[in-house]
């Protein structure tokens, strides 16, 4: 039995049904493609490797940048198989050509080139956490009162963009769409869990904290840590903030 009350068999069943979630998500400016293929040479692995070897994009990651293609592949396998990580690569849609009709959608799903969907700008995802939350969640809102006795389905949100995509609102746009997709999946599948999301963020990472607020996350509390950690080019002392929200 996992610490949050979900049995191993239930976790396996839930992981298997995640194949029913949308693999392609569109927003007005972005395309999100789910990453699942860990085979050597796959396009999914290449995108994963590109992000995980970027020193700036990974600067707030406790894991840090990967140092080789082989390390990236092993790390992706862990994400898919061990963490049941719902991962999406984020792409900026190609610009509309001058000859395009003003009534045409910029990019219809059926026209997406899965190997070249646009400019690759980052990644986002929801990683399953089988152990308890870092900090106890607040009581569920009244809209979830009937689910309060259900076992907790805990996932941790993580996202980062390449530096060239900063300051355009892409993180909020991509994550809003992903969370809406995940919420629709949970409602459609009737998973039988109380769905809760958690995020950990350093106090000095104001950009990420701002995005979390726009996504409906609320501060839960400060997680104190004795040992400093090196993130984003500096030693961080004291701990980090935990944010949370229910789906």
Place of tokens 């996202």: 159
In terms of Cα–Cα distance, which of 62, 242, 13 is closest to 135? 242
Question: What pLDDT score was predicted for residue 16?
Answer: 46
- The span from the first CA to the last CA of the chain, in angstroms, equals 23
Which residues of the chain, if any, have pLDDT below 70?
1-17, 96-111, 144-146
User: Tokens in use for 14?
Assistant: 């839930």
User: How far is Cα 78 from Cα 155, in angstroms, rounded to an integer?
Assistant: 15
Radius of gyration of the chain (CA): 18
User: How far is Cα 239 from Cα 229, in angstroms, rounded to an integer?
Assistant: 9
pTM above 0.95, yes or no: no
User: Tokens in use for 197?
Assistant: 């999301």
Q: What domains are defined for the chain?
A: 8-246 (3.40.630.30)
Q: If you ran DSSP here, which 8-state letter would residue 19 be given? A: G
User: How far is Cα 217 from Cα 177, in angstroms, rounded to an integer?
Assistant: 15
Question: What pLDDT score was predicted for residue 145?
Answer: 64
Dihedrals phi, psi of 180, to nearest 5 degrees: -65, -40
What does DSSP say about strands 24-26 and 30-34: parallel, antiparallel, or unpaired? antiparallel
Question: What pLDDT score was predicted for residue 111?
Answer: 67
């Amino acid at each position: 039995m996992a610490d949050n009350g979900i049995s191993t068999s239930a976790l396996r069943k839930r992981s298997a049904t995640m194949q029913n979630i949308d693999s392609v998500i569109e927003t007005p400016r972005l395309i999100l493609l789910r990453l699942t293929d860990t085979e050597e040479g796959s396009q999914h692995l290449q995108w994963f490797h590109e992000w995980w070897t970027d020193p700036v994009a990974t600067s707030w990651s406790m894991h840090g940048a990967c140092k080789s293609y082989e390390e990236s592949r092993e790390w992706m396998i862990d994400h898919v198989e061990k963490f049941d990580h719902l991962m999406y690569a984020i792409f900026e849609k190609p610009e509309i050509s001058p000859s395009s009709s003003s009534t045409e959608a910029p990019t219809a799903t059926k026209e997406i080139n899965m190997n070249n969907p646009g400019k690759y700008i980052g990644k986002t995802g929801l990683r399953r956490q089988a152990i308890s939350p870092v900090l106890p969640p607040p009581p569920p809102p009244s809209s979830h009162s009937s689910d309060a006795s259900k076992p907790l389905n805990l996932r941790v949100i993580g996202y980062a963009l390449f530096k060239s995509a900063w300051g355009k609102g892409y993180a909020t746009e991509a994550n809003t769409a992903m969370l809406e997709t995940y919420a629709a999946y949970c409602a459609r599948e009737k998973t039988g869990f109380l769905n809760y999301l958690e995020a950990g963020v350093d106090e000095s990472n104001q950009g990420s904290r701002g995005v979390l607020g726009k996504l409906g996350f609320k501060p839960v509390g400060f997680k104190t840590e004795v040992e400093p950690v090196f993130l984003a080019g500096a030693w961080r002392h004291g701990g980090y903030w935990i944010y949370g929200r229910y789906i």
